Structure 1
Amino acid sequence: MKHKIYILSFIISLLFISCSDEYLNKEPLSEVTEDSFFLKASDLELYTNGFYRMFPEASIYNGDERAGEIITTTLSEEVRSARLIPTSGGGWNWDYLRDINYFLDNYEKCDDESAKRHYSGVARFFRAYFYFEKVKRFGDVPWYEKTIDPTDTESLQKPRDSRQFVVDKIIEDLDYAIENLNEEVQAYRITKYSALALKSRVGLYEGTFEKYRGVSNYEKYLQASVSASLVLMNDSPYGVYSTGDTRNDYMNLFNSHDAQTSEMILSRQFDQAVAVDHNVNYYTTTSSYGRPGMPKALVNSYLMVDGSRFTDQANYNQIFFTDEVANRDPRLSQTIRTPGYIRKGESIELAPNLGATMTGYQLTKYVTEPVYDTNDESITDLPILRFGEVLLNYAEAKAELGTIAQADLDVSIKLLRDRVGMPNLSMADANSNPDTFMEDQYPTVSGANKGLVLEIRRERRIELYMENFRWDDIVRWKSGQTITQSLRGLYFPGVGEYDLDADGNTDVVLYEGETPDISGEGVQYIKLGSDLYLDENNLVNPQPDFNNRSFNENRDYLYPIPRVELQLNPNLTQNPGWE
């Protein structure tokens, strides 16, 4: 009886989120039982559809907020080192795993061999995805590959398995998925290519996580990343989206309503017709929802358009905005508002709105037409796995293994730079003259490929901005101190009138005391010391209380296990530093 109730409740939940009536009249719900379900291909499809709810929705940029890569009115607990041990919750939830394992315990009742292969591959992909998220958050976790009976105390109270054991199981699941999933281009469904892309990600994450903590045999994970990446690079229908328009292609990859399937291996679909939408437009354009902004440290990381370093010039932090963003890597002007910015669907050039951004660097990635500006009205499909990431994974894994050559950069980093008209990365130049600005951010990088690793990290930070990677990258590189560095924004010499879009007209007036009597359509009046703060170097200081931050190297790379879970399972141990 308990299995009948479990299946019934699971199917009902799927029907409420389904966009299709296809399954509603297949069989009376009152007759759905363990014996009558899992018999047809449509049963397997319906059940596995529920696993897609695991993917992030509007919080696709959550990993960047957590790491201070997007600065808002409220800093994350991670950046402030203010996390507490929760009583319950805290990410220690296993419901999806039970759903997945229950499917894997029962799917072979179906007599459609093709369906069994594909949908068991879907389930194994999602189990890998589920456990990867758990390992990233908690480290060692108990591995379960069968449905656990509620009375099975021994299984429910098993201790944590080592992260290496769990990651090996994740790779095993992904290898099964790669072998059995359908080979096709499906923007919103799991395929063989999705599993290859996730394996590329998992291998790089675990390989670098272990390398920077002195764990032996880390190389096998980096090699797994390289191997999976190569299959996608050499034997898949995917590539870098490009029409030859170097000034717009990167932007258009992300503000397209529908996923660009030439590069997007897997996306989260959004559609107003079925009330599935998100809030990116509202998040980036209004003055009442966080006021997100890019930090100056990231702006400084963008190279000049000729490939030279912006930070090699004297006093690079005291250059006014219009000169600061001129002749830079075109991805900068396709990620934030710079002079000449025209919003999708509009014809008017727009200056940055300082009321909508804490740093002055106003985000434009994913932003579409103004008709979608209301909260939870955006419909841009959001990336989950894309080919551009795979190229970066490949280059980094090869560099960390010490097996990289210029030819590897030519088939990876070069493709991303070609899209925006940037010169290729030179391995010899990078290693012969490492960037001191990058060294300050990542002091633990060393070895013969030090300069190259730093440049690949620069490339990754720029290319994957607002795609939920930054926190994970900081953790795996063991670079927690990076997020304690100063959070700053635009440079302003002081009070005065400023033209932010280089059109000859005043856009912003900074003042002290009484509001000045200056007229002008669209002029922003900002009071220093109240609406905006400048530090001793005349850089926007988003909020003075943002500056006192810390990172506990012995604790903060992992999250704490909730107290109630430690009480329920006496064989669980708390993560280091959280005892």
Structure 2
Amino acid sequence: MNSFMKSSTKIYIAALAGALSLQSCDKFLDLEPISQATTANSYKSLADAEAALTGVYDSFQQDYYVWDNVMLSDTRSDNHYAGGDNPSYYEMDELRVTANNDKTWSSWKSLYNAIAKANIVLTKVPTINDPKLDANNRRNQIIGEASFLRAYHYFQLVKLFGDIPLMLKPVSTTNASETNVPRSSVADVYKQIIADLEVAATNLPDTYGASADVNKARATKGAANALLAKVYAQKPDREYTKVLQYANAVITSPAGYALLLDYDNLFDGNHYNNAESIMEVQYVGGKEANWGPQMLLPPSKSGDGWRKFLTPSKDLIKAFDAEGDVVRKNASVLFENVQWVDEFWSAQVGGSVPFSYKWRSANGWASTNRQYLIRLADIILLKAEALNELGQTTEAAGVLDLIRNRVSLPKTTAADKASLKQAIENERRLEFAQEGQRWDDLVRFGNVKEVMNSLNEVNLKTGAKMVYNMTDAKIYVPIPQNEIDRNPLLK
């Protein structure tokens, strides 16, 4: 199975490439991403710009966005246990991540590679002398798309690693004076993310036409506003007035975003590019397929019998049951008897073990199941959070109930700011399990140490209670040792 866990996939987004045609959003172009070109004469035309941009979007089909982002959030948190045979995942699960963890190293490389491709577009496209680039405002749109993508990747990095190097121009030499960049503060990284997103929101359209395959594949004004809402909520000096502003911009967008009536439709594989989706990875099969589901689904769905890599925790199941949340539990978890020992669920072979179920079809490592990069429910719950933090608790409760009503739960009974804050956090846990949100939520709500240190998880093989020893220092993962060795400025 390790042969499928490639460090750099050669996958291109056909749907996106088609979207980049100015003649028609429904036509497909056979464009190959330009991801390594560095010389000025490689970028002369609209076609070159479009191909380079396609290369930036291609980064969403690399390992970090396939499922490492889920491992780094849900497995590190109280939502899931590690599994499989990679020690790096157990380091995440047990909160003992070291600088030599190969998954944080691959995430670092993947995200900075994506940023490098965005930097090329942002540097080269303004200088291309082709009148076609200025037809229909396409040059500014490309700059807006690349700005959004760079911001999205930096948002992942700053949440993972904290202070990180800000690389804003293409690197054209191996000279240490250019490649060795010191860490910028978390505050400065967030300033850059916001600056990029403001450029994106100014230059991007609400939609690119009538095709959902295009509008959900590419950065739009709605996606930029949604990410701004998330950024203003997540940065250490929260700005909830801004969160509310940008959340409302998304909710009232001319793009017409709307919650699906049936929560399960989000994940059944038949309703992608739906009204609730703001942006999603466009896995369509063939060379553009998702191998992640094979790593998570039970034998009856995957067709194999080896232990999988992401197991829902007892604490997560308890949270679903305590809320009486049958709808989201059934959409998120599938129990099955297995032919291996699971140290948290079954000390004997043949016991019942839960599996992550928001991906439903493995299809022999070539699934079309998708991750949502941003969806409307996230923004609605951020609006509730912002209203509550701004003292508008009654209105915030009403917004929260929009999410609860969809899954047939009663209105919240939380009536004061503190209890509603806890209710919103819990709602997000149940809504976004297996979607790479939980760790960020715990950090933002300020209770990651309390939650992780109060877990009552017992290893059934040894009888020992798990001790996570969560500290402030563990909020971020260490800068990879490989990068520290290469760049002495990373102190």
Shorter-normalised TM range: 0.7 to 0.9
Give how far 1:553 is off: 1.0
| Alignment match of 2:268 (pick from 249, 255, 269) | 255
Which 4+ residue blocks in structure 1 deviate beyond 6 angstroms? 13-16
Partner of 1:558: 476
Contact conserved, 1:257 with 1:380, CA < 8 A, in 2? no
Give, in whole Å, the separation in 1 of the partners of 2:55 and 2:119. 13
Once the two structures are overlaid, the 10-residue window that deviates more, 167-176 or 227-236, is 227-236
Counterpart of 2:467 in structure 1: which amino acid?
R
Partner of 1:504: none
Cα distance change of structure 1 residues 77 and 364 upon mapping to structure 2, 3 Å threshold: closer
1:394 paired to 2:383: yes
- Whichever of the two has the greater Rg, that structure is 1
Give how far 1:267 is off: 1.1
| Alignment match of 2:118 (pick from 83, 86, 100) | 100
1:31-67 deviation digits (Å, cap 9, x = unpaired): 9963362421x32221111112332124563221232
Mark the runs of 5 or more structure 1 residues left unpaired by the alignment.
1-12, 211-217, 243-248, 304-308, 311-326, 338-350, 432-448, 489-534, 536-540, 574-579
Partner of 1:50: 55
Give, in whole Å, the separation in 1 of the partners of 2:12 and 2:400. 39
Partner of 2:337: 353
1:480 paired to 2:449: yes
Give how far 1:569 is off: 3.4
Cα distance change of structure 1 residues 333 and 563 upon mapping to structure 2, 3 Å threshold: closer
Partner of 2:429: 461
Give, in whole Å, the separation in 2 of the partners of 1:265 and 1:380. 16
Structure 1 or 2: more helix by fraction: 2
Give, in whole Å, the separation in 2 of the partners of 1:386 and 1:182. 18
Partner of 1:409: 397
Counterpart of 1:77 in structure 2: which amino acid?
E
Percent of paired sites with the same residue: 22
2:259 alignment partner, SS class:
coil
Cα distance change of structure 1 residues 295 and 281 upon mapping to structure 2, 3 Å threshold: same
1:64 alignment partner, SS class:
helix
Residues 276-295 of structure 1 correspond to what in structure 2 (within 5 A)?
276-280=289-293, 283-286=296-299, 287-290=305-308, 292-295=310-313
Counterpart of 2:41 in structure 1: which amino acid?
D
Give, in whole Å, the separation in 1 of the partners of 2:11 and 2:297. 31
Contact conserved, 2:197 with 2:224, CA < 8 A, in 1? yes
Partner of 1:246: none
Residues 138-217 of structure 1 correspond to what in structure 2 (within 5 A)?
138-150=161-173, 153-184=176-207, 186-206=215-235, 210=236
Mark the runs of 5 or more structure 2 residues left unpaired by the alignment.
1-7, 19-27, 300-304, 346-351
Counterpart of 1:119 in structure 2: which amino acid?
I
TM-score, with structure 1 as normaliser: 0.67
Residues 31-70 of structure 1 correspond to what in structure 2 (within 5 A)?
34-35=40-41, 37-40=43-46, 42-55=47-60, 56-59=65-68, 61-62=70-71, 63-70=73-80
Contact conserved, 2:226 with 2:247, CA < 8 A, in 1? yes
1:290-346 deviation digits (Å, cap 9, x = unpaired): 27543232233236xxxxx66xxxxxxxxxxxxxxxx64532233334xxxxxxxxx
Once the two structures are overlaid, the 10-residue window that deviates more, 88-97 or 117-126, is 88-97
Give, in whole Å, the separation in 2 of the partners of 1:291 and 1:148. 36
1:470-491 deviation digits (Å, cap 9, x = unpaired): 2222333351352344465xxx
Once the two structures are overlaid, the 10-residue window that deviates more, 266-275 or 98-107, is 266-275
Contact conserved, 1:118 with 1:181, CA < 8 A, in 2? yes
TM-score, with structure 2 as normaliser: 0.77
2:471 alignment partner, SS class:
coil
Cα distance change of structure 1 residues 106 and 553 upon mapping to structure 2, 3 Å threshold: same
Counterpart of 1:425 in structure 2: which amino acid?
T
1:385 alignment partner, SS class:
strand
Counterpart of 1:290 in structure 2: which amino acid?
K
2:354 alignment partner, SS class:
coil
Contact conserved, 1:79 with 1:483, CA < 8 A, in 2? no
1:268 paired to 2:286: no
Counterpart of 2:232 in structure 1: which amino acid?
G
Cα distance change of structure 1 residues 95 and 381 upon mapping to structure 2, 3 Å threshold: closer
1:365 paired to 2:357: yes
Counterpart of 1:278 in structure 2: which amino acid?
W
Cα distance change of structure 1 residues 467 and 328 upon mapping to structure 2, 3 Å threshold: closer
Contact conserved, 1:61 with 1:468, CA < 8 A, in 2? yes
Partner of 1:335: 332
1:511-551 deviation digits (Å, cap 9, x = unpaired): xxxxxxxxxxxxxxxxxxxxxxxx7xxxxx55437733323
1:81 alignment partner, SS class:
coil
Cα distance change of structure 1 residues 194 and 542 upon mapping to structure 2, 3 Å threshold: farther
Residues 291-306 of structure 1 correspond to what in structure 2 (within 5 A)?
292-302=310-320
Cα distance change of structure 1 residues 301 and 195 upon mapping to structure 2, 3 Å threshold: same
